[in-house]
Structure formats: C-alpha cells, structure tokens
Structure 1
Amino acid sequence: MSCIPVLTTQYKPHPTERMRANQWMGAKSLKIGEVPKPTITAPKDAIVRITHCCICGSDLHMYGGEMDKYMESGDILGHEAIGYVEEVGQGVDGFKAGDRVIILPVIACGECFYCQKEQYSLCDKTNPSKEMDDLYGHRLSGIFGYSHLTGGYPGNQAEYCRVPNADLVLLHCPENLPAKRALGLADVTDTAWHGIELAEVREGDVVGVWGCGPIGLSIQKLAKEIRGAKKVYAVDKDPQRLAIAESLGMIPVDANKVKPDEHILSAEPHGLDRGIEASGFRSTNSVTHKVMRATGLEGDSSDTVSEIIKATRKGGNMALIGDFFFNTNNFPIGMLMEKTITLRGGQLMAQKYYPFLLNLVKEGKYDPSFVFTHTDDFENCPQEYERQFNHEVPGGMKSIMVTPYGRKLNQPL
C-alpha cells in the first residue's frame, strides 16, 4: 500500500462569492447549480475564470452511471477548459493575473519519481484515493472533475476553477488563437498524440483505429498528417462519424456491416502495424459481453481489444486509449502472447507533449478545431451531456460551451 504524501484536493470556498457549475446529481442527472467560488488554498494554486469548456467522451462514464460508487452528489464535472488567470498563489512563477491559459486535465506534482520521468499521469502525489490504491496497488495522478477515484478534484465545467500546481498544469495560450483550437489542445489532441506514442506509429505504417469519436478521429488525422502513416483504417458503427473519417482520407470500416478484424485482414493479410483502441470499455459487439456487462459479471468489455489483437500483425504494437477501469472476461491472452504483440495503455501524459503540440497548431501544421461541430451556452451543459451520450450532437462530434464571461468577451471561435 502506497504511503506517499499527497496534495490536498480540497479548496477553500470563498466566504461570500458564488459561481455556477455543472454538478453531478446521479446517473443521467446533472444540474447547473450555484456553489461557492474557489479561492487560493496552496502557494502553487491559481484561480482561472473559464471562458470555454466541453464534454470529454470519458465524462460520459460518470453521466451514464458506470462510476456511481466513486461519485458524490454535487460533484463538479469537466476537465477540458480554457480561460483567464484571475489570481495566483505566491509560489506560482510562470503565470500572472490576466494571462490567457489552457488547463490540462492531469494534475501532476513535477517532483516525484514518475513526474521526473515525464510520466505525469502516474504522479505519486496528487491523488489521495484509497480506493484506487486498493484497486490497482498504486495511485495514479489526480484529474479534474473525474470522480473520487482520481482524487475528487472539482472540475472546470464551471465559471471558475482552482488549478493546483499551476506552473505545470496550465499552458500559456496566445490571445490570437481561436477558442476551438485552444480548447482542442486541452485534452483531445494530447490524448490522441499519447495514443500514437503508445502505439509507436511510424512513417509508412498501416494503422487501424477502433473508434471515430473526437479522439479516435484525431488519432487518425495525426497519424496520417504528422506521423506519415501510409493507410489508416477507421472502425466505428456511426455512419456520420465514418463519413467524417472518409472525408479526412481514412478507410472507413462499418462494424455494423462487417467483422472489422476479418475485413481488415482480407485487405491487409500481413496485418496492421499499429492498432489503437479509442472506443472504450462501453463498446460491445458480441451478445456475450453485452450480457456480462448488463449483469455485472464484468466491468469492461474486451470485444474491440480482441479484434485489434487479431488484426494486428505479428510483432506489431497496440495501444489502449479508450478508458478501461475494471475487469474483463474472455481476454485472448494467448493470441497476444504468441503473436509477440506489444500492448500499452494509460491516461495521457499531457505536460510531456508541450510545447510541441501547441507549436504544431500555432504554425498551422495541425488544426484540432474540426472536432467541434456545435456551439452552446454553458448553462445548457446538462442537455449537451444527453446529446453527446445519445450521439445527437449536431454535426456528429463535440459541443463547445461558452460561459457568460466568454460570451461577454466575444472571442473568435
């Protein structure tokens, strides 16, 4: 059992000032509530006034009820946001009031064994969760608005957010960078890049990506445009998202019509060089796994993982970037071992990939804004969760929510 001192996740509420925040009240039950505005709690804290935020696909785990036992009524959700620094603690060196910033989702200390190796999502000091310690044998990093399993930090689907270790968790955001590009750098782009790094995508590779949501499509686009992949197969069940993948130059594979592993192997007998899972534990294809998940006999489905193992060539690489938390059954460990496939996974190590990713966007070499197909007011967060959960977001992708302060500034999207 780990006994390393951890950073406090609590914030000292302002004695009089209030703010609005998107609060979890139960499975598929959210509300925009009024809560105390956070204040500086530790010297390295910053308070950020949010202008724009959005919903991550992983937020839907909390919304859908899979994480209920790690949630408390009133928890503030969200880990993708941009805004302006309002106040900093005396220990913050790199930021000052008035700076425009991107808030990274992973809360790291910068000092522990893992942070020194730039493995920030494995940070030893920012997550006090005994449940995670018991579940995995170790704690991982804290994450904003992502259940008490990752520390219980209040999220940033709110008018203000307290950011611990601000010098490491904030990025300077150019004033002339449109909001969609900036917000796309908060999580989607760096998570996608993490998947590419885990899979070790190289120039000339044949790549398969299971999942055509914002992160899956971003993986595909980055693999082809930045890493030089020769072919990218895009696997999904959603016709609208498959059409987007095809428009980006990918080879669509409709999992409603074909068995993806068999279809890919018929076209690529050698197999994929790199296979990436970006659909997550809620993705089931077989009746067996649907029944096991519905009856509580397993927490995570291995349907897509099994397909990827089969479709990946001998000696190839696999990455898990869609969230998996618990246990699965019928996992093809023999096929994985005998084919000498390297399998890696994990939460994004966001800080590791900057300033590289920010410079890609600033220099016009990559544009992450394509993942946002709808704009709404922050006050409509609960409705946007329902839309995203049911795949009903206009344009088929992701909504960007603008706070009252963001609307007042009227910045270009």
Structure 2
Amino acid sequence: MADSSKVPAPIYTTDYKPHPTETMKAAQWTGTKSVTVGEVPKPTITAPKDAIVHITHCCICGSDLHMYGGEMNQAMQEGDIMGHEAIGYVDEIGPEVQKIKAGDRVIILPVIACGDCFYCKEQQYSLCDKTNPSKMMENLYGHRLSGIFGYSHLTGGYPGDQAEFCRVPNADLVLIKCPEDMPAKKALALADVTDTAWHGVELAEVREGDVVGVWGCGPIGLSIQKLSKEIRGAKKVYAIDKDLHRLKIAESFGMIPVDVSKVEPDEYILSVEPHGLDRGIEASGFRSTGSTKHKIMRATGLEGDSADTVTQAIKATRKGGNVALIGDFFFNTNMFPIGMLMEKTITLRGGQLMAQKYYPYLLDLVKEGKYDPSFVFTKVDDFENIPQEYDMQYHQTVPGGLKSIMVTPYGRALGQPL
C-alpha cells in the first residue's frame, strides 16, 4: 500500500479561536529558559469534534524541557502555550462529539490523532497523517507525524494544556473518561508518563523472565522499570543513572542500581551478565552525554543528539536482543555504532507514544490496583508557580527528586483528593 503521508490530506485546524470576552491564565514560552504565566483569551470550539476542557491539574514533562532549554527554539513562537499532560472536566463539546459529554472528568492524551488515516487504523496514532500541518517536520523527516499539544510547531503548533482551559480536537479519541473517585495523581500520571513507559516496554518487547536494562531513572525510566518487573514479569531490571537519589528510589522498587559516575554501565552489565541484556531501553533523553567527544560535538553544533547512551545499550544487549529509544531524539548524531547493531542482529525501535492504543488497558490496571503510577509526583504546587517549577525540573531540584503536580484555581476550588 502506498504511504498515505505523501498524499495531501485534510488537516485538523490548529487555529486558536479566542473567546470574544473571557480570558484565562496559561503557561507561555517566552524564550530560552523562560516560561511565564500570561493572561490569554479562553479557547472556543473551532471544529465540530472539538471539546473545551476546564483543567484541574497539570504537570511538566521532561520533553517540555527541550523547548525550555533552547534546543527547539527554531520551532517555537513567543507566547506559545506549553504542556501536554493534564486532566480536568469537559466544559463544552462540539456538535459531532458523541462519546464525551459536558461535565465528564477526563484525561487529555498528548497525541492528537484523526482515527481515520492508514496509521490510525493500524493503531499507530502518533504517526497520524492528518493532524500535523508542519512542513518543517516533513522536510526534516520526509513525512509528518501526529500533532501533539504544546510541543512546538514541529508537531503542529497546538496550544498546550498547561492552562486553565484547553481546546481538544477530535475529543472522542483524544480524551479518556476518568473515574470521579480516582486520585488526581493517578489520573494525571495516566495522561503521559504511564503511556510513554508502556510504549517503551512494548517497543522493547519485554517478556516474562527477561533481563532488562533501563538508561534513566526519571519518572519515565522508573515507570518503565516498574512496568517491566511488576506487569511484564521481567526477572531482573538494571536501573542506570548518575543521580544517587533516583538510584535509591529504583533500588527501593527492587531494581539493580548502576551508578554511571562509578562504572561504565555497558562494561559493568556485561561483567555480571555475560549473556547480555535481553532488552535495553534508553529513557534518559538526548541530552545525556557521557563522553568528552559528544559533549564537544553538541557544544559546537556538530550534532544535535548524542549516541552515548544508545551505544551503551546496544553494547550491553545480547545478540538478537531488542533496544528501544523512548528518550526524545530529534536531530542527528555522530559515531553511531551501526556495525555493532547490525552484526549483533539487534532490533532497534523508537517513536512517540501511541497513547490511544493502550486504553482502556492502562486505566483498568490502575483502577484494579494492579499498578500505582502516582509515585512520580513528589511535590504539589499551585499552577501559578509554574515558572519556578520549570526551573526546578530543568535543574533536577524538584523536592523528592521527580515531578510536581500543579493544581489550577479550578482544581483548588473543587478540592479533589490528590
């Protein structure tokens, strides 16, 4: 079948149709390491399948830091509304919304998918043809991927949900109904963190009895580790990081900590697991540079991403094993070990989460008490303090070491349990 992403297709409007009189507070990108809380017009219904969600809780994703830190400046415009992790209540729906109604408590998924194109029909929602008009991405990759809330104009320029209200296109597919009695931390963790982590174990094909290595012990990395062990039945999980506090968290969950400030992780793993890992998962992100060479190349603009952690994962993984990339890589890298990858017959996969594919399974896991994702939130703060929260998350100084949940004025008024 021909690749439909090369064929012109209807594009979901990314226009921000402002309310004529009402305003709201929103977290806006105003430059490198600068996010401010601004007063902007409240969004309104733009298309028949839209919904407007009144946000109660939101948080900052590690991938938001790509825009905050300056790596994505060419794809940003001053005033862009940030964020793609939020929950709330449906305030208004368009005339063609069928599954969602006003008053429903909902989780907003990050990926904006049409549900009708070739990729959506294959449940590969993050590869959607129709929701991202970005020519920049098409020129960069040869194809467009899906739209994503608040994630630069590379993914469509959709206003994000770090705001008091958010317009949600194709609401029947992009919103998940959430039980009223589910604590906010669990519900919000299901918006992106748990989905992305599950995508990682799916890409790596983690199976019962596997030996798994996860590069990164942030919220996503720790979630991958827990899902690999608690849900997929991995025999051993190596947790690889340089942050001692996060390594201690991983160890408390039953993982085997590997401190990269003391050992070369690939060499250490092969010394204790001569067979190698069955599955290696990179969840530390493209900013992870260990070698001097990659630090110099990134600093001088000779590469955009670093292959240090990917190289370690490929080397530590057994012949015929799997390596998954879940930390965001956008651009190019040098010295990629293509020979090692090919000769060891390793399967390498990556990509953005296919969020809609994993529901209702993930929601049921949490509802039934089989998995608790709320551990990723180690601090509670008011939405108005989001500029300081960006600074803390960027410098990894969030109290408790992981992630803050932010409560909007509407969320505080409702007084829901966290």
Same fold (TM over 0.5): yes
Deviation at 1:12, TM superposition (A): 1.0
Q: Residues 126-165 of structure 1: matches in 2 within 5 Å?
A: 126-165=131-170
Structure 2 equivalent of residue 281 of structure 1? 286
Deviation at 1:41, TM superposition (A): 0.3
Deviation at 1:260, TM superposition (A): 0.2
Runs of 4+ aligned residues of structure 1 deviating over 3 Å after TM superposition are none
CA distance in 2, matches of 1:145, 1:356: 26
Residue of 51, 62, 68 corresponding to 1:57: 62
Unpaired segments ≥5 residues, structure 2 = 1-5
Residue of 316, 319, 326 corresponding to 2:324: 319
Structure 2 equivalent of residue 234 of structure 1? 239
CA distance in 1, matches of 2:15, 2:342: 44
Does residue 1:374 correspond to 2:379, yes or no? yes
Unpaired segments ≥5 residues, structure 1 = none
Does residue 1:173 correspond to 2:191, yes or no? no
Identity %: 81
Structure 1 equivalent of residue 78 of structure 2? 73
Residue of 181, 201, 206 corresponding to 1:201: 206
Residue of 20, 27, 36 corresponding to 1:31: 36
Alpha carbons 1:2, 1:138 under 8 Å: kept: no
Amino acid corresponding to residue 234 of structure 1 in structure 2: A
Amino acid corresponding to residue 153 of structure 1 in structure 2: Y
CA distance in 2, matches of 1:2, 1:16: 40
Alpha carbons 1:2, 1:139 under 8 Å: kept: no
Structure 2 equivalent of residue 93 of structure 1? 98
Q: Residues 281-360 of structure 1: matches in 2 within 5 Å?
A: 281-360=286-365
Does residue 1:404 correspond to 2:412, yes or no? no
Deviation at 1:30, TM superposition (A): 1.0
CA distance in 1, matches of 2:333, 2:7: 25
Amino acid corresponding to residue 257 of structure 1 in structure 2: K
Alpha carbons 1:372, 1:398 under 8 Å: kept: yes
| SS at 2:332 equivalent | coil
Structure 2 equivalent of residue 212 of structure 1? 217
How many residues of Structure 1 are paired with residues of Structure 2 in the alignment? 413
Question: 1:233-277 CA distances to partner (integer Å, 9 max, x unpaired)?
Answer: 000010010000000000000011100000000010000000000
CA distance in 1, matches of 2:308, 2:7: 33
Residue of 8, 13, 20 corresponding to 2:18: 13
Deviation at 1:5, TM superposition (A): 2.4
Structure 1 equivalent of residue 262 of structure 2? 257
| SS at 1:262 equivalent | helix
How high is the TM-score relative to the length of structure 2? 0.98
Deviation at 1:6, TM superposition (A): 1.3
Alpha carbons 1:145, 1:156 under 8 Å: kept: yes
Alpha carbons 1:376, 1:402 under 8 Å: kept: yes
| SS at 1:317 equivalent | strand
| SS at 1:395 equivalent | coil
Amino acid corresponding to residue 386 of structure 1 in structure 2: D
| SS at 1:75 equivalent | coil
Alpha carbon RMSD of aligned pairs, Å?
0.5
CA distance in 1, matches of 2:263, 2:387: 35
Amino acid corresponding to residue 113 of structure 1 in structure 2: F
Amino acid corresponding to residue 355 of structure 1 in structure 2: P
Structure 2 equivalent of residue 120 of structure 1? 125
CA distance in 1, matches of 2:19, 2:48: 16
Question: 1:327-372 CA distances to partner (integer Å, 9 max, x unpaired)?
Answer: 0000000000000000000000000000000000000000000000
Does residue 1:109 correspond to 2:90, yes or no? no
CA distance in 2, matches of 1:47, 1:200: 37
Alpha carbons 1:200, 1:274 under 8 Å: kept: yes
CA distance in 1, matches of 2:335, 2:182: 47
